[in-house]
A and B are shown apart, each in its own frame.
Chain A
Amino acid sequence: GIQVEQSPPDLILQEGANSTLRCNFSDSVNNLQWFHQNPWGQLINLFYIPSGTKQNGRLSATTVATERYSLLYISSSQTTDSGVYFCAVVISGGYNKLIFGAGTRLAVHP
């Protein structure tokens, strides 16, 4: 089956720093989403981005489908950005069944 790999697995930042999270996937996908999971377990959708670039405030994401990777950029990080960031994909015919990576655990210190 398709493999979804995220890097780095852990990231520690000082408030105000910028970061880039990467997601590689081993096969073509119909859907790619980035999620943020807060310390209470709630998964919040950040981007639906099967291809191209999107921006939402301090966050932006780029997916290069032909090269099978996606990047999530966090600028001017804040302590509230802490948590786990997941990339998840849907393959063709997948009825919106998400296949998640293992996540990047981000800690932002004041």
Chain B
Amino acid sequence: DAGVTQSPTHLIKTRGQQVTLRCSPKSGHDTVSWYQQALGQGPQFIFQYYEEEERQRGNFPDRFSGHQFPNYSSELNVNALLLGDSALYLCASDTDGQISGANVLTFGAGSRLTVL
């Protein structure tokens, strides 16, 4: 049973470029969340997708956008890249409906983005 898979694993971009990161959730999961982890810090919540819509969003600018497809996979897009966007981007999945947050999130291995 495959867990959460992310691609690419590493990538290098220059300032002002755009990047797309991809995530396939764990089998049986329908909700995808994205987190940004800067070096030496804990992950920070970017947004969450369920039923192909953004359901929750953290404190990130509109340059960060996403999409969820009918097969539950998801993309994270970042436009007009800044040096400060360099980070490990983590995708996590779980099953919906638990407003109480009773589900255990499963994380992918991440996509490490370097902006030069």
A, B co-complexed: yes
B: interface residue count bin: 20 to 34
CB-defined interface of A72-110 with B at 8 Å, one 1/0 digit per residue?
Answer: 000000000000001010111111111111110000000
- Residues in B whose Cβ lies below 8 Å from that of A14: none
- Residues in A whose Cβ lies below 8 Å from that of B44: 100
Known: A42-B109, A43-B90. Contact between A96 and B98, CB under 8 A?
Answer: yes
Closest to B57 in A: A97
A42 touches B104 (CB 8 A): no
A95 touches B48 (CB 8 A): yes
B88 adjacent to chain A (CB < 8 Å):
yes
A96 touches B112 (CB 8 A): no
B98 touches A98 (CB 8 A): no
A57 adjacent to chain B (CB < 8 Å):
no
A92 touches B100 (CB 8 A): yes
B98 touches A42 (CB 8 A): no
- Residues in A whose Cβ lies below 8 Å from that of B98: 96
Chain B residues with CB under 8 Å of chain A are 31, 33, 35, 37, 41-45, 48, 55-56, 58, 88, 90, 92, 94, 98-107, 109-110, 112
Closest 10 CB pairs of A and B: A90-B101, A100-B42, A31-B101, A43-B107, A96-B101, A30-B101, A41-B110, A30-B100, A48-B104, A42-B109
